[in-house]
Amino acid sequence: RTCISCKDKQDKKLLNRLQCKDKKLSAFTGTGRSFYLCNKCLEDTKKVEKALYRHCKNKDEYIVQLKEILANGR
């Protein structure tokens, strides 16, 4: 699997699987398109935010949503 931010390939167990559904960021629900972010990239907020804007094709409060998802343990 490939991180959308750094394009690094890693085992999917080491990546965080997310999706943009209805222009909102959420943990992968099992249906629809998804993408991966590595833990290393999660430390660089600006880099992740740029990748999320590019991938979700929308500007929103993705960093706030991402922090909530990670805090809830997916």
The yes-or-no verdict on residue 61 having pLDDT over 60 is: yes
- Cα separation, 23 vs 40, in Å, equals 25
Q: Which single residue is written with the structure tokens 């979700």? A: 56
* Interval 12-47: pLDDT, tens: 899 999 999 888 999 999 999 999 999 999 998 899
**C-beta neighbour count of 3 within 10 angstroms:** 22
The yes-or-no verdict on residue 57 having pLDDT over 60 is: yes
Q: Considering the entire predicted model, what is its pTM?
A: 0.85
Do 26 and 19 touch, CB atoms closer than 8 A?
yes
Share of the chain above pLDDT 90, in %: 65
